[in-house]
Amino acid sequence: MELIRGLHNLRPRHRGSVVTIGNFDGVHLGHRAILDQLKTHARAHDLPAVVVVFEPQPREYFSGDQAPPRLTRLSDKVRLLGQHGADRVLCLPFNRRLRELSAREFVDRVLIQGLGIRHLVVGDDFRFGCDRAGDFDLLRTLGKQAGFSVEHTRTFQIGGERVSSTRVRTLLASGNFEQAEQLLGRPFSLEGRVVKDRQLGRTIGVPTANLPMLPGPLVLRGVMAAVTRLEDGREVPGVLNIGWRPTVGTHRPVLEVHLFDFDEPLYGQRLIVMPCARLRGEETFASIDELKLRIHLDIDQARDYFKQHAFRQHASDVSGATLDAEGVDASLPSCRYPMASAPLAAERSKHEQ
């Protein structure tokens, strides 16, 4: 799979393609249905399947911190798109120059001159160009003039509802990791290389591995029971904290995970962390001793959760997923990780009634 950054990096060999355009945040099952459409037409035309994405995403450009939090970083998105059928990803910088292109200029410069498009797969509610003046009907008109066909994407539903990035975000924020996994076709995960931080955890007997977080809104905040996959394939349960450390303070959001019964160096390792159950939100404590007491309570809760919901060790790549005939990730059985359908406090209340 080839990543092309910007129109200026397109070459004559990149002309001739079947294309789709979108944010593809999360690369969920709805996105993967679009990629299946794309692959079908790419094979029929004997041409590469190309996905056009934007960085930053348009809503991030216009709304800044008010934009929805991302489900996937660009690097993870590109990797997932490649795993699910994209031969090339064209990443366009969403800046003033691109924003001011008229709809016709966008089609001419990007699709016709840049990619030599033969077929386009795009949602029938897709809007593009300056002031979002371009729509599906204009694409069909321009396609007839330029010699490329246009097809709308098919709606992909689970449980009678359309699968969307917005729906996944809502489920994650509510602590429903089980249903979020069903829509994604894989467990929701956060990835990164372990970096040195202030090592505050060690001073209170709870060492953590710290992963860098991108600036911007967080899709998850709070404390969660989580499974961490190491580079060697081992999977270790533990407790995950994401947020701003309100008691001790920090100048940027942090992701820190404490691994149970684990005492090996992790600096520089790339970890995959899968939150399984929400324990609580962010809290400010009156003292470090109070914080320490609560952290140990979180650890006890998470240990109890994993005792009650054992997960199966598995050494395959979390992101190397394949869909079966039902659109379910065949390489990641739903029983593999103990994904909760609600925060643990809500689960306990439900069972006590």
244 in a structural domain: yes
Whether 353 shows a pLDDT value over 50: the answer reads no
Which of helix, strand or coil describes residue 105?
helix
pLDDT at 128: 92
Summarised one tens digit per residue, pLDDT across range 272-310 is: 999 999 999 988 787 888 888 999 999 999 999 999 987
Q: Are 6 and 154 in the same domain?
A: yes
| CB-count burial class (<10 Å; 0-12, 13-18, 19+) for 118 | buried
pLDDT category of residue 317 using cuts at 50, 70 and 90: very low
Domain count, the chain: 2
In terms of DSSP bridges, do strands 88-93 and 2-5 run parallel, antiparallel, or are they unpaired?
parallel
Q: Within 13 Å of residue 211, how many CA atoms lie on the same side as its CB?
A: 21
- The beta-strand segments (E) located in 125-269 are 149-152, 157-158, 161-162, 190-193, 209-211, 222-229, 235-243, 254-259
Q: Residue 304's domain is classified under what CATH number?
A: 2.40.30.30
| Distance linking the first and last C-alpha atoms of the chain | 52
Instruction: For residues 308-329, give the mean pLDDT.
Output: 47
Of 177, 183, 227, which Cα lies nearest the Cα of 347? Answer: 177
pLDDT category of residue 250 using cuts at 50, 70 and 90: low
> Cβ(180)–Cβ(240) under 8 Å?
no
Q: Max alpha carbon distance in the chain (Å)?
A: 71
Of 265, 247, 245, which Cα lies nearest the Cα of 255? Answer: 245
Q: Residue 31's domain is classified under what CATH number?
A: 3.40.50.620
Residue whose tokens read 């929805």: 68
Summarised one tens digit per residue, pLDDT across range 6-52 is: 999 999 999 999 999 999 999 999 999 999 999 999 999 999 999 99
Q: Are 153 and 8 in the same domain?
A: yes
Q: What's the gap between Cα 235 and its chain centre?
A: 20
Whether 239 shows a pLDDT value over 70: the answer reads yes
Q: Are 145 and 224 in the same domain?
A: no
225-239, 256-270, 282-296 — which is least confidently predicted?
282-296
Q: Which domain holds residue 201?
A: 189-309
58 in a structural domain: yes
Q: Are 80 and 197 in the same domain?
A: no
Q: Are 210 and 150 in the same domain?
A: no
Q: How far apart are CA 188 and CA 165, in angstroms?
A: 12
